[in-house]
Amino acid sequence: IVVVGIVDAVIVEAPKMKWMFVTTIRIVEVFVVGVSFRWLIVLMAVAGGSVIQQ
């Protein structure tokens, strides 16, 4: 009975868990891309500045 209850709970919760998991991955992806993009802009600005100085 306990095992069946656990299985039922997993079946019911799985879609929610998957949705939360996908949402978390999306948030992490956006965060990582945003940070990478910011660093890219900083590097380009530094490179551009050094080129202008020369």
What pLDDT sits at residue 5? 80
The two structure tokens encoding residue 9: 């709970």
Whole-angstrom distance, CA of residue 38 vs CA of residue 47: 14
Kindly report the backbone phi and psi dihedral angles of residue 33, in degrees, each rounded to the nearest multiple of 5, phi listed first: -60, -40
Rounded to two decimals, what is the model's pTM? 0.49
Question: What is the spatial distance between Cα 35 and Cα 41, in angstroms, rounded to a whole number?
Answer: 10
What is the tens place of the pLDDT at every residue in 1-53? Answer: 567 787 888 788 888 888 888 999 999 999 999 999 999 999 999 988 877 77
The confidence score (pLDDT) of residue 1 equals 57
